[in-house]
Chains A and B, each alone.
Chain A
């Protein structure tokens, strides 16, 4: 089988993916193992219920806070859509198959996104340079997510920890977004060794 190739293969080398020195921000990639989407209409909750049950997720959730299950995070991206990120492709495939196609839809999207992880003490400062949202911890607590844009590219931003955000970026925009983020992080202390171009 041919190798999977990250969208950021030209930017990140394995040996460089770590915080170095007192970098304000470490920019990294977290592999998206499996991702899918469930949509529906009036009976969306019913349509999604069997899948969510298999994933161990309690309900559809709201538009700001992620729902978590075993090895799984779901994002309510619209009233009738949820995006699911899972670390076990087979489990996700089963869950998507459980959707009743007369009242809902399921779509496998594992290769559609690249996950750029931003960690470090200056991560809020970096994000405030590239997106208009309020990233201070009180306004954007751990577990929250938001759909916004970074330099015109639609991204989903998920706060993993006080100093850690994951950005789900469309695969074909990943390099451009990565470059934009890293250039903006330089003044705040991105270690040059983490940039490999």
Chain B
């Protein structure tokens, strides 16, 4: 394989040698190389296969617009598909492999797909996946093979070992792009005193200047600018950072590739960082992307954007072809031809324009190039890479007007003009306008007051003018952000040797033979294998709108995002419709501008930080006590406390039975706790709860139910009156935040007349429920300063108390159906009081119990909880209709009376007892015994458990006309596990229905 590396030149560090690997082959490189430049230097011509037809593809560009050279990077857990070789910095040991090919990109058996090309044209899948038999069975069978063939790279399924992080940043002026315009904009804004962020996707600042010869006229200016910017404390420079999205209110998304240029990041350092920047003003100096020419075989390895050829030559010291054809319709490619010729290449330049600029043509000829005016390239020939170009005289439409001749070449460098990179600008919901004089779409310069545009993004012709424009834009942006100092004079760069592309550009973009047809497949979107013929077909089939064209042919989709494919596709559609490009219009660009790793977007909210976790003040005791934990929303709760190898079932049955026979203790700190305060607090409670609150005395508490505005039950809980204007409301764990938000909304909107404030106290108090026949005895032993006798503290009363020197409150109430108390302890003492009770409770046989046993106890008692308050049930459904006051209005009091809400046929709460030995399953559907289990049934099971008190498997559920069906045998069908149980309908109050135990 011949080396294309020149003996000198470029911006690479030739003093160091690196070894990269592509498909197992060693690729020599130097620091400063990209994988693409190293492969090009090593003569690797076929580096990829195309998406659909598996055509051999080579390196086409030198930047983010690369459509072809997508490779697998790294291996194992750091394997990454679809990375652009042009953006991968060389590092020693870099391993890349070809993708979308088997066995490899040089010899790919899937290339047989090209034989199927007539059948897999644009939109073929819309037409193909129907028939041949009734239904979709055949194609569902084929799907596995189609899926395997589709797509490009293959992602790893291993866990990504790298760290990622998100950072928020704020600045006065955000400058996107560090070419001449961006550097100048950052400098003037920085000199004004504004906080500036300068973002550059390359590893070096300079933009297009880096494609000039190293040591050339533009380098001193670039160095001076960088030195001054780096010395400014108010200027932050990010390199290897791509602004991928522009959003409302000056928000921009940036991904910074911190350590992609090494084999793996240093310990603890993030591989990539996702910046979310909020900028007062923005200067978009995003440059321009060269446009391809379209001709037969224009996708073959060896065809390359002209600007890219120059970049490889001058920046990386790589001569992409010793014999080169430079095909252009504008001035900019002349500099490419001159540089290639001066580097020793045998150059033939074709210009579609009949009279190219005399000075440039003369300079090219002087450098040794052959200049052919009014010519174009009809086809690139050779297999698998370019060996010859067929060149012919062409008319203004690119149609050959004379015989073609073959020119032997390894490189065809093409330029059909340039497209300003206005993707970010367009993402702000604006469409660009077509400027015929520059033959490109341009942003509207003053469309948004916070957006300033400068440089090639505005079709500025060359570096000096771009720098001037950037300087002015930076100063304007700083002024608009409130900084109006004198920015001083700025040194100006030498005129960019890249010739201006906006000076009288030609409009020819495609070459055909004299019959108007391209010589072989001619592509407008390389990444998606979209050819001119696909555009033609879309037009024939009526997909003439650019929006339809894009979706039907997939032109400009995926990572390309219109960087290369768009304008030529639009131009073709314009021709077919007999219109101009502006009349055809363009599509909108969407984020991301370049692909962003999902890991970067996730940032640090992964693994244990996928979501925040809430811990009870007593949590550490549960962990140390060997509890198995369960998630309840974001809370971690003690599920059960296994003893000597117990499983969940054994443990919860033991724990629940123990509560019934002795005393148990459960951590209920997760209950929502809301302080309701103010002179109108009782009135507030009266309005939000269905039952009355005006008469609740200090020292008492009451169970209450609240409805949503539509009459459905929202939540329940007990509220204690602590003082004249002070109440302590408890809610279910699940609905705490919802209830607080609802209350706050009512107070701030509908009930502004009420003098009430609500404040969450959930974090202020730990809570322990002590339940069981020995509960009073235990607490009596440990409390100071209060009488817990039944007479002094009946059910639904509370008292201040002291345990172990800690002032706290004891509420007498029961969720378990047993004699029970809830002890409310300041959070910082919750852990200590729990431990104190555990120790003091030994003589009463106290044992902790978890949420599973707590559920068992409440199901036995027939108490509803979250599974019953599921957003579908009414008071009547729950059997709580009797609680509703008829003497006052309350939230939901009218809507709960709607016809459907009071339908007697609504499913209502029932108890269910299983006849079998297997437990019932929540979600099972209830059917009458004699009917086929089909459809929605007559109800469902909401909560299930094994009841140690009854010695049976029981459940709560909702059943149509349930209260009238006690004693009826029905079937409960668990469709998920294809299991049917026979159950008997009973009262939901399985245990101690008279409440003798809890009131004792």
CB proximity of A149 to chain B, nearest CB, Å: 10
The answer to whether B617 and A176 touch across the interface, beta carbons within 8 angstroms, is no
Q: Check A173 against B612 for contact (C-beta < 8 Å).
A: yes
Instruction: Select the residue from A4, A80, A110, A179 with max chain B CB neighbours within 10 A.
Output: A4
Which chain B residues in 581-607 approach chain A with CB under 8 Å? Answer: 604-605
**A107-B677, A183-B604 known; A171 vs B170 contact (CB < 8 Å):** no
CB contact between A5 and one of B166, B169, B617, B675 (< 8 Å): that residue: B617
Q: How far is it, in angstroms, between the C-alpha of A107 and the C-alpha of B757 when the chains are bound?
A: 11
Q: Say whether A139 contacts B170, CB under 8 Å.
A: yes
Question: For residues 441 through 456 of chain B, which have their beta carbon under 8 Å from a beta carbon of chain A?
Answer: none
Residues of B within 8 A of A131 (CB): 168
> Which residues of chain B are near A41, meaning CB under 8 Å?
678, 755
Interface residues on A, range: 35 or more
Asked if A112 and B677 make an inter-chain contact with CB atoms under 8 angstroms apart, the answer reads: no
Type the 1/0 row for B825-860, where 1 means its CB is closer than 8 Å to any CB of A.
011111111011000000000000000000000000
Is A101 positioned at the interface, with any CB of B under 8 Å from its CB?
yes
1/0 per residue, CB under 8 A from A, across B615-647: the answer is 111011000000000000001000000000000
Residues of B124-165 contacting chain A, CB below 8 A: 163, 165
Give the complex CA separation of A23 and B609 in angstroms: 23
Q: Is B764 positioned at the interface, with any CB of A under 8 Å from its CB?
A: yes
Contact partner of B609 (CB less than 8 A), chosen from A7, A133, A180, is: A180
Cβ of B545 within 8 Å of any chain A Cβ, yes or no, is no
Q: Once bound together, how far apart are the Cα atoms of A5 and B278, in whole Å?
A: 40
Taken together as a complex, chains A and B put the C-alpha atoms of A101 and B669 apart, in Å, by: 28
Q: For residue A152, which residues in chain B have a CB less than 8 angstroms away from its CB?
A: 611-612
Give B859 Cβ to nearest chain A Cβ, in Å. 27
Q: Does A109 lie within 8 Å of B617, measured CB to CB?
A: no
Q: C-beta contact mask, A4-21 vs B, less than 8 Å → 1, else 0?
A: 111101100000000000
Contact in complex: B166, A129 (CB < 8 Å):
yes
Please tell me which one of the listed residues A10, A170, A177, A187 contacts residue B163 in the complex, with CB atoms under 8 A apart: A187
Tally of contacts, chain A with chain B, CB under 8 A = 139
User: Assuming the A-B contacts A2-B833, A172-B617, are A113 and B763 also in contact, with contact meaning beta carbons closer than 8 angstroms in the complex?
Assistant: yes
B677-A105 in contact (CB<8A) = yes
Q: Is B268 an interface residue (CB 8 A)?
A: yes
**Footprint of A on B, CB under 8 Å?**
163, 165-170, 195, 268-270, 276, 278, 604-605, 608-609, 611-617, 619-620, 635, 669, 675, 677-679, 723-726, 755, 757, 759, 761-765, 804-806, 826-833, 835-836
Contact of B270 among A7, A103, A187 (CB under 8 A): A187
User: Closest Cβ of chain B: how far from A168's Cβ, in Å?
Assistant: 11
A121 to B: closest C-beta gap in Å:
15
Measured CB to CB, the nearest residue on chain B to A189 is: B268
Q: Kindly provide the distance from the CB of B88 to the nearest chain A CB, expressed in whole angstroms.
A: 23
Q: Which residues of A contact B270 (CB under 8 A)?
A: 187
CB–CB B724/A101 < 8 A: yes
Q: Are A2 and B167 in contact (CB under 8 A)?
A: no
B172, chain A: closest CB distance, angstroms: 11
Contact A129/B165 with A112-B764, A179-B609 known, Cβ cut-off 8 Å: yes
20 A-B pairs in the complex with CB atoms less than 8 angstroms apart:
A2-B805, A2-B829, A2-B832, A2-B833, A5-B828, A7-B617, A9-B620, A39-B757, A102-B679, A105-B677, A105-B725, A107-B677, A107-B761, A110-B826, A152-B611, A173-B763, A175-B613, A175-B619, A187-B163, A187-B165
Interface centre among A5, A113, A175, A176 (most CB of B within 10 A): A5
Given known contacts A41-B755, A184-B604, A186-B268, A101 and B833 CB-to-CB distance under 8 angstroms? no
Interface: A196 (CB within 8 A): no
Residues of A104-132 at the interface with B, using a CB-CB cut-off of 8 Å, are 105, 107-113, 125, 128-129, 131-132
Q: A37 and B613: CB pair below 8 A?
A: no
A179 surroundings in chain B (CB, below 8 A): 608-609
Pick from A37, A133, A170: contact of B168, CB under 8 Å? A133
Q: Does A134 contact B (CB under 8 A)?
A: yes
Q: Which A residues touch B635, using CB under 8 A?
A: 172
B759–A37 contact, CB under 8 A? Answer: yes
Bitwise, A163-197 to B at CB < 8 A (1) or not (0) is 00000001111011101100110110000000000
Instruction: Point out the residues of chain A lying under 8 angstroms from B166, CB to CB.
Output: 129
Question: Given contacts A128-B169, A152-B612, are A111 and B833 in contact (CB under 8 A)?
Answer: no
B676 to A: closest C-beta gap in Å: 10
How far, in angstroms, from A128 to B277 measured CA to CA in the complex?
11
List which A1-59 residues lie within 8 A (CB) of chain B: 1-7, 9-10, 37, 39, 41
A102 to B166 CA separation, bound complex (whole angstroms): 48
* Chain B residues near A161 (CB-CB < 8 A): none
Chain A residues with CB under 8 A of B611: 152
Q: Do A151 and B605 contact each other (CB < 8 Å), given the known contacts A7-B617, A107-B759, A175-B615? A: yes
Chain B nearest CB, measured from A176 CB (Å): 4
| Contacts A1-B806, A105-B757 supplied; 7 other A-B pairs, CB < 8 Å | A105-B726, A109-B761, A112-B763, A172-B615, A184-B165, A186-B268, A187-B269
